[in-house]
Chain A
Amino acid sequence: MEKPVLIACHDCDLLQMIPPVPEGGQARCTRCGAELYSRKRNSLDRTLSLILAGLILFFLSNAFPLLELESQGLLQETTLFQGVKALYDQDMRGLSLLVLLTCILAPFVQLSGLFYVLLPMRYNRLAPMTPAVFRFIRKLQPWSMMEVFMLGILVSIVKLAKMATIIPGISLYSFAALIMVLAGAVASLDPHIVWERLGDGKR
């Protein structure tokens, strides 16, 4: 953004002229305080590298068991997907779909979709369907709940510790890393970069 732009606040609708924002700076609405515009440092490169790390961690997290439970010589381990399947097998279809959506599908679509949009953009190209894909990812974001799932893991460990011995699996660690990486990717992403590449009005 080199020249001032006119933006309406998405929370209170006030029109404001925003002067060029320096890298790392942000503009807030003068009436309600909502963030209107922010410019992240080196947004494309940082987000891309975090997404790449995120994709690797995502596969690790889902390929290996999350927790292992040992009780009187019996061993039982589970991956996230087995949890989804266990709910489905107990006839809680809606519930299992919700967990599938919020912990597996949404994060994966978010990561791969961002990769699809941002990688060509890094080399000054535009992937086909960029506006639609990017819009979809932004809408999906509230449904990606990895960090909440992590809290769920911690609570279950405490809950089960009384009952049996709990052994953390490999993917527990990659999950923890994935949450940091996802949060970092969201924080370093500057959506205006994508929109401004699309130009004003011509698709």
Chain B
Amino acid sequence: MNVMSPTAKNAALLSCPSCHLLTRKPAVFGKSHAAICPRCGERIYERKPDSITRTWALVIAAFIFYIPANVLPIMTVTSMGKAQSDTILSGVIYFIKTGMWPIALVIFVASVFVPLLKLFILTYLLISLHVRSLWRPKDRTRLYRITEMIGRWSMVDIYVVTLMVALVKLGAIADIEVAPGAMHFAAVVVITIFAAMSFDPRLIWDKMEARHD
């Protein structure tokens, strides 16, 4: 079949990530070299720099933070002298027990399922690059687009904690404090957003060609 696809890389062109202008690649241009887009001033690399290494580092960091995020309490509710700590999962279980399963589902999907799904997808995509997978590049690109889209929704729990803390300041009757789990959880969300940003889906297609030569 075809050996070289007509890509910007093969045509010695650089595509600006911000305004999509194509410019000619300078004669000497390494992997870590950057050109400046003549139209919008953005730095252009041929591929996102150190994409695989950076994404691995961020994904592993996020996996590590994911543990304290779920084990540690995200907030402590003091009511009538009794203190009770809530983790993300205990919040989900509470809503299931009280019969409010739609809310339980929202929190479970946003806070437990989405971060894990995102991390597993990124791990899978990274591994598929290492083994030079040829399997369904179009669907793998689609998977990448999904991870870019869904990550933000994990912030829901952070906002809930923010509002609860601000509202429930009733002194002896009830008081709510943020607990360290919330910080770790926020770290997971932010790190996975950066991880998705540092992954370059064009590498999926580059590997497809490397096999053909």
Q: List A residues at the B interface (Cβ < 8 Å).
A: 6-8, 10-15, 31-34, 66-67, 69, 71-72, 74, 76-78, 82-87, 90, 92, 94-95, 98-99, 102-103, 131-132, 134-135, 138, 142, 145, 148-149, 151-153, 155-156, 158-160, 162-164, 191-192, 195, 198-203
Contacts and interface: CB of A to CB of B under 8 A. Distances in A.
B39 A14 contact: no
B119 interface: no
Contact of B153 (A71, A83, A151): A151
A71 B170 contact: yes
Nearest to B189: A98
A169 to B, nearest CB: 11
Contacts of A142: 152, 193, 197
B15 interface: yes
A72 B98 CA distance: 23
26 contacts: A7-B15, A32-B138, A71-B174, A90-B178, A95-B162, A95-B178, A98-B186, A98-B190, A131-B40, A132-B41, A135-B19, A135-B41, A142-B152, A145-B155, A148-B156, A151-B106, A152-B163, A153-B159, A153-B163, A155-B107, A156-B164, A160-B168, A164-B170, A199-B39, A201-B21, A202-B38
Nearest to A195: B19
Closest 8 CB pairs of A and B: A152-B159, A8-B8, A8-B15, A83-B166, A78-B166, A201-B38, A13-B7, A195-B19
Contacts of B142: 32-33
Contacts of B106: 151, 155
A203 B8 contact: no
Contacts of A132: 41
A14 B5 CA distance: 7
A94 B158 CA distance: 12
Contacts, number: 196
Given A99-B158, A142-B193, A13 B163 contact: no
Interface string B24-59: 000000000000001111100000000000000000
Contacts of B40: 131, 134-135, 195, 198
Contacts of A102: 155
A7 B20 CA distance: 7
B204 interface: yes
B100 A11 contact: no
A151 to B, nearest CB: 5
